Structure 1
């Protein structure tokens, strides 16, 4: 290829790339309203965005992968944690950490109740934007990471000696393990399978032993009579018995979503129970 041919090739290639870029940009703009649910942008959502900027949340957190990487990406946090948890957390983050063990770095911002409500409304809107799976990276949480990109695969997210191996076939325990990593809201967003790794909810390592101890306790407020029954109750009626401490409940209501009874079939709940009962 001589100089003239090289010049022509470069000009044509640049022109084609420019046309493709402009075309894709215009196409994106035609879909922004649909992808972002623009019709749901209420005054409260806008006010919540203002709160996000007022307190410089982006200095530590990211949305859609954009921002600082000092703290967790919050793109889907409203779906992963829920309103009750987020409200209690924003009021006083110190209740969710052991200062000596976890070195809490989230400051107490002293937000007003209106600011908290608006910020949660904003984060809820953000969580429903169709971001086509971006960013495809782990959501970092205290003590470990939840690999969102791995959810839905047949490979376990975590390995622990406290987790009894289950069959990859049609064993209910194996199906329950898959549900643990793929149900909505996803269980791994709040619960670890590693002993000692406590996220928004308690670690599932040793779940069966703790369940037996809880049922035998005079402080138990639920109706279960065995380990499997307690695990089932924790899934479908999480506020039946509240684990002591401010980390897991507020005003007598568990932070655990109460939607699994409707979102899961009886068979799926049985599968989850079968899997969690292996956590000796």
Structure 2
């Protein structure tokens, strides 16, 4: 290839690459309105974005994998937690964890009710953006994840320290039932999060409980359901007290019709703790 041919080849290659790039750019912009749900950008969503920036949430959290890595990615948080849970958490995060035990340092921001509502609307809009599977996996932060989503050595130690009875931490008046239920989830003996994750697709000794609040009704509606529950709340309560009441066909978490899950929670937990745990699990969308 002589100099003239080399020059023509370089010019041609550059032209083709430029055309491909422009084509992809135009196609991307053509799809943006659909992928980003631009028609759902309500004033409430925009106000929620302003709340996100006002309180510097990105200094700890990430959206679409972008931001700080101190706290969990919140891209799909509204698909994992109900509005009641998120509202209670934002009002007083300290209800849901013990800073010394769980090492979370989520500050109490004193958001107004309207700011919380707007922020949830913004996060709901974000969660419905088609992010094409990005990031490819949940970003898990040691010591700062949703309980049960991180299996690092430090959290295993943390989980082991959480095996103390639930009564080990005093309950103060007015605490949210879901917050108390999350505490039971982490601290009862044996601890629920020792076997169950609340992250989608993360199965441990027991199946992931992500979405259990939504899947409960589906389980009741299946032809093979053998329990007595008539609604989602009753199903979750039944699963805690009588884990063998309904065995999911083909699951590897039972043998000969008997669940591997302990059936002693009815004796080790108080009735109010069962209700609190049920309330927390109902919040897992």
TM-score range, shorter chain: 0.5 to 0.7
Contact 1:80 1:186 in 2 (8 A): no
Gaps spanning 5+ residues in structure 2: where? 152-198, 217-239, 244-252, 254-258
How many pairs were matched up? Answer: 196
Q: Retained in 2: the 8 A contact 1:180–1:186? A: no
1:133-184 C-alpha deviation (Å, 9 max, x unpaired)? 111122322565369xx966xxxx4544xx5xxxxxxxxxxxxx5x867879
Aligned ranges 1:76-225 → 2 under 5 Å: 76-140=76-140, 141-142=145-146, 145=149, 157-160=202-205, 177=207, 208-209=261-262, 211-214=263-266, 216=267, 219-220=270-271
Quick one: distance in 2 between partners of 1:182 and 1:218?
Answer: 23
Between the aligned partners of 2:89 and 2:46, the Cα distance in structure 1 is: 21
Task: Determine if contact 1:102/1:142 at 8 Å carries over to the other structure.
Answer: no
Q: What is the distance in 2 between the residues matched to 1:186 and 1:17?
A: 48
Pair 1:256-2:256 in alignment: no
Choose the corresponding residue for 1:242, options 263, 275, 283.
275
Superposition RMSD in Å: 3.8
Asked whether the equivalents of residues 138 and 146 of structure 1 are also in contact (C-alpha less than 8 Å), the reply is: no
SS of residue in 2 equivalent to 1:145:
coil
Q: Distance in 2 between matches of 1:5 and 1:131?
A: 43
Check the 8 A contact 2:213/2:284 in 1, yes or no.
Answer: no
3-state SS of the aligned residue for 1:136?
A: coil
Distance 1:80 1:143, change over 3 A: closer
Q: Which structure 1 segments of 5+ residues have no match?
A: 164-176, 188-201, 223-240, 261-280
Q: CA, structure 1 residues 95+212, in 2 after alignment: closer, same or farther (shift >3 Å)?
A: same
- 1:45-104, CA deviations, whole angstroms, 9 ceiling, x for partnerless residues? 111011011111112211112222222111100111121111111111112222112212
* Residues 1:92 and 1:258: Cα distance change in structure 2 (over 3 Å): closer
8 A Cα contact 1:82 1:255, kept in partner: no
The CA distance in 1 between the partners of 2:215 and 2:3, in whole Å, is 58
